Amino acid sequence: MTDHVPDLTGHAEALLPDGARTWWNQALARARDEGPEALPELFPALRRRIGTTGLSAGMFRETPYLVDLDAWRACDAAGHVLLEAAGSHDGPATDLFLRGDLEERTIVLKAMTLRPISPDTIALLGEVQRTNTVRHVEAGVLDANLAVRALEAGGPMTGFSQDDLHRLVLKLAFLDLPVARAYGVLDHATAELSQMLEDFAQEREAAGRPVWADTWRFLGRAAIATSRERLAAGLAHAQPEVRAAARDGVQAFGDTDLLKQLDA
């Protein structure tokens, strides 16, 4: 069964700027009448026509979606509505991303976080993995559970595997983005991922550079040979965010001596 697509029309229309109503009604009508072929001319205009006012709509929780709409703008919601109005689940989103400017790409990626997993989703997660444009990584995989939905949709069938998730987490580490905003990802900790993060941490330490704080969370959840030593050191780390992550990791790790240090 295909997941439903939430209707954000109310959110988009509540924030329409003065004078944008006519354009918006025409855009919606074009999307409905012409389908995906209308979108390449409509998406570039979304930011300047609809604007970037924040939705301030809180957390959207409706199975299978978990998305923080406070991270969305009016133009993002409008893009989501147009994609759905065009009535096609596959194809146009990837084209819109590849031929889009920075804003269009952001809008497309946001929209994917509230749409069913499809070949488009997998293609765009691949684009997110290859880009270092931080806001596109944020738009695609933060403030949402898209990565975990893609993983749970069937791995080999959809093309997003545990290996892909590992690479994505390393990407977050490289860009210093918090895993807490990629909802559900921490629940998919594996020993292989912990080892990848440990190796990355050792490279950083050898270079005298900071280590991604969320490393300690993963090493506590999926133990490897160095987990205990790193967690113990993390509890006394100079950076408060590392200490907090280490405490979180220790609770998941369950070592009695380390847990006593938490109580001390």
Residues of this chain that interact with other proteins (CB under 8 A) are 40-45, 47-48, 99, 101-103, 130-135
Residue 78: other Cβ atoms inside 10 A = 31
H or E element in which residue 230 lies: helix 227-235
Separation CA 92–CA 238 (nearest Å): 48
**Quick one: 98 or 236, whose CB is closer to other proteins?**
98
Q: Which residues pair with 73 in a beta bridge?
A: 54
**Quick one: 134 or 236, whose CB is closer to other proteins?**
134
**Quick one: 204 or 228, whose CB is closer to other proteins?**
204
For the chain, the first-to-last Cα distance in angstroms comes to: 51
**Quick one: 9 or 129, whose CB is closer to other proteins?**
129
Contact between residue 93 and residue 83 where contact means Cβ atoms under 8 Å apart: yes
CB of 211 to other proteins, least distance (A): 17
H or E element in which residue 60 lies: strand 59-62
The number of angstroms, rounded, from the C-alpha of 47 to the middle of its chain's C-alpha atoms is 21
CB of 84 to other proteins, least distance (A): 20
